[in-house]
Homo-oligomer: A and B are copies of this chain.
Amino acid sequence: MGRVTFQPTGAVVEAKRGETLLALARNAGIAIASICGGDGICGRCRLIVERGEVRAPPTALLTREEIQAGYVLACQAEPVGDVEVRVPPEALAAAPLDQAAARFRALHPVVEEGPSFRHHPLVQKVYLELPPPTLQDNLADQERLFRELRRQLSAPILQMGLKVLQPLPRLLRRSGWKVTLTVGQRGGTTEVIQIEPGDRSAHNYGIAVDVGTSTVVAHLVDLVTSQTVDGEACYNSQAAFGAEVTRRILYAEREGPEALRQAIVEDINGLVAALVSRNGVELRDVTAVFCAGNTAMIHFLLGLDPSHVRKSPYVPAASEPSPVRAAEVGIKINPRGLLYTMPGIGGWVGGDITAGILATGLHRAKELTMLIDIGTNGEIVLGNKDWMIACSTSAGPAFEGSGVSCGMKAGPGAIERVEISSDGRVRVRTIGNGKPKGVCGSGLVDAAAELCRVGWVDRAGQLLPGASPHVREQNGLAEFVLVPAAHTATGKDIVITQRDIENLLRAKAAIYAGARILAASMGLSLADVERIFVAGGFGNYLDLKKAVHLGLIPDLPLDRIRFVGNTSLLGAKLALLSTEALAEAREIARRVTYFDLIAHPHYYEEFLAAKFIPHTDVGQFPSVSRALKGAWA
């Protein structure tokens, strides 16, 4: 059918009839961004045809100008003969395969002191060689299978659906009584969800998902070896219904939750499809999906009515929904594969926080420990092995690079470090070290802290044009040029505007004020906290010192603060890999007390005070105070 050459890498693949450029790019090891999973509706997979011809249906997602410039949707276009296409940087899903090492690094948010659990995946494959029946041993097929299965694993209550039982007699005899059972844990019972001929016990995968309000991150996990094979992320396309949880709930109340369910399910399907195709895994071998997310996200995912989550007394439809078949909500893995969700704590503190506690081991800690999970909502947990209390703050999506002029999620090309040297030169570092495409949360934190340190913004967060050639006014709005167009991957300036800084300060103030009030509610001050875990989708980097200087994190000695990455994802993975971990998560969810921050009389006052850098009361930040008196004088 012809050869397709992908630029700029020059990768060449042979095209078969009916293969789209999206599939061919995957064959060439190039991961193209696609939210809709190839249905031609998200418009992310735009490539430029530079030579040759492609066949593609009309689409409203490309303008007349773009079509004239050669743009096509990769998921819709099929090559006719030899073709050369260019992959623009913004079309790359994540790191291309040759940057596997960089991506891989991001897959392992490690909590060194976190608890470990026995390897006991929620869905297992077990290979059995059965003795064929005789007149002396003429047990029925199902019971023969169960007898042998119970010799290999403990399963007091075994179940098998008709869909599995119906083909069983023929399957057993055709396979010579050698079969692989896929068995899933379903709340105290064990279900045989699939039977395959021969030994396929080495082919068993699960997907752990952090269903964030702004960002959805999925890891492909080998359930046999416990290894994380690969990761993929996308923005939550529910954003079309509102950037914040409340807006989406209001939409669901008006129009029903169906569109929101579809959006997140399509996001997850897109991530799964990318993960399996890139790694040569068969979809039928993906037998489980484990999702952690805030309560509203899990409600949307399961098609549950979220309206009462929003209103006092903030009551979810369910905190521990039973596992269901993934297909029942539209998630495309093995058709009988199971979907698990992390038990939630309450309306505004969801399973993502249960996951965070599980991953960090806060619930087993002797010391007074705080977990700050920074996302679109900032959730804070305070406690130890004896008690735990949690609250939620509305931070907005700034820390995930969303709602920010040049923001992007943590991924290749995202600016994650910013330094301003004493001679006023701005230096940045990107994830993967490529040309910058935008700035992610950790880059924003760095930038804001540095801007304040060098005096290009004041403590109230006002950019000061004239303080540096990097700070300019554009249409009456001050902005900081982080990287000029000449050095970016997009060919445009990467800037941080006055509004971006204000968003960031509101976000960090919401979180810090929450932490203060939460401690105070237990008669404690932040100085009593002995250990802080900072979690969030910052990729693999957050400069904790700068986060303290910004006033985002309480000012503890740095050796007592640890950045632990995406603990929602990590906790989901622990549970996916261990039934015992899931049981412990259930216990955690029941033990945590929800604290209603919004109703607290001093919260708004605390919030306003925390909007300064680092705070109106610098006394709360002794190390920053010392710095201000010294270098920052």
The chain A residues found within 8 Å of chain B, CB to CB, are 133-135, 137-144, 156-157, 159-162, 165-170, 173, 186-189, 302-305, 307-308, 312-322, 324, 328-329, 344, 346-347, 594, 596
Q: Are A134 and B308 in contact (CB under 8 A)?
A: no
Q: Are A140 and B187 in contact (CB under 8 A)?
A: no
Q: Are A315 and B138 in contact (CB under 8 A)?
A: yes
Number of this chain's copies in the complex: 2
> Residue A596 contacts which of B135, B307, B315, B324 (CB distance < 8 angstroms)?
B135
Q: Are A165 and B321 in contact (CB under 8 A)?
A: yes
Q: Contacts A138-B314, A140-B319, A313-B133 given; indicate if A304 touches B346 (C-beta within 8 A).
A: no
Q: How far, in whole Å, are A135 and B599 apart by their CA atoms in the complex?
A: 11
Q: Are A138 and B324 in contact (CB under 8 A)?
A: no
Q: Closest Cβ of chain B: how far from A94's Cβ, in Å?
A: 32
Q: Are A315 and B140 in contact (CB under 8 A)?
A: yes
> Residue A189 contacts which of B157, B160, B315, B319 (CB distance < 8 angstroms)?
B157
Q: Are A320 and B189 in contact (CB under 8 A)?
A: no
Nearest chain B residue, comparing its CB with the CB of A157: B188
Q: Are B140 and A317 in contact (CB under 8 A)?
A: yes
> Residue A139 contacts which of B138, B160, B189, B315 (CB distance < 8 angstroms)?
B315
Q: Are A142 and B189 in contact (CB under 8 A)?
A: no
Chain B positions within 8 Å of A189 at CB level: 157, 187-189
Nearest chain B residue, comparing its CB with the CB of A188: B157
Chain B positions within 8 Å of A135 at CB level: 312-313, 596
Q: How far, in whole Å, are A166 and B312 apart by their CA atoms in the complex?
A: 20
Chain B positions within 8 Å of A308 at CB level: 141, 169, 173
> Residue A166 contacts which of B137, B165, B303, B347 (CB distance < 8 angstroms)?
B303
Q: How far, in whole Å, are A141 and B318 apart by their CA atoms in the complex?
A: 6
Known: A138-B346, A143-B319, A165-B317. 10 other contacts (CB 8 A): A138-B313, A139-B315, A142-B321, A144-B315, A156-B188, A161-B322, A162-B302, A169-B307, A169-B308, A188-B188
Q: Are A305 and B162 in contact (CB under 8 A)?
A: no
> Residue A322 contacts which of B159, B168, B304, B313 (CB distance < 8 angstroms)?
B159
Q: How far, in whole Å, are A307 and B166 apart by their CA atoms in the complex?
A: 12
Q: Closest Cβ of chain B: how far from A326's Cβ, in Å?
A: 12
Q: Are B168 and A317 in contact (CB under 8 A)?
A: yes
Q: Which of A162, A313, A320 has the most CB of B within 10 A?
A: A162
Q: How far, in whole Å, are A415 and B417 apart by their CA atoms in the complex?
A: 96
Q: Closest Cβ of chain B: how far from A331's Cβ, in Å?
A: 12
Q: How far, in whole Å, are A315 and B317 apart by their CA atoms in the complex?
A: 45
Q: Are A317 and B169 in contact (CB under 8 A)?
A: yes
20 sample A-B contacts, Cβ–Cβ < 8 Å, listed by A number: A133-B313, A138-B314, A138-B347, A139-B319, A141-B318, A142-B319, A143-B318, A143-B319, A144-B315, A157-B157, A157-B187, A157-B189, A159-B187, A160-B318, A162-B302, A162-B324, A162-B328, A165-B302, A169-B308, A173-B308
Q: Contacts A140-B318, A142-B321, A322-B159 given; indicate if A169 touches B305 (C-beta within 8 A).
A: yes
Q: Closest Cβ of chain B: how far from A335's Cβ, in Å?
A: 15
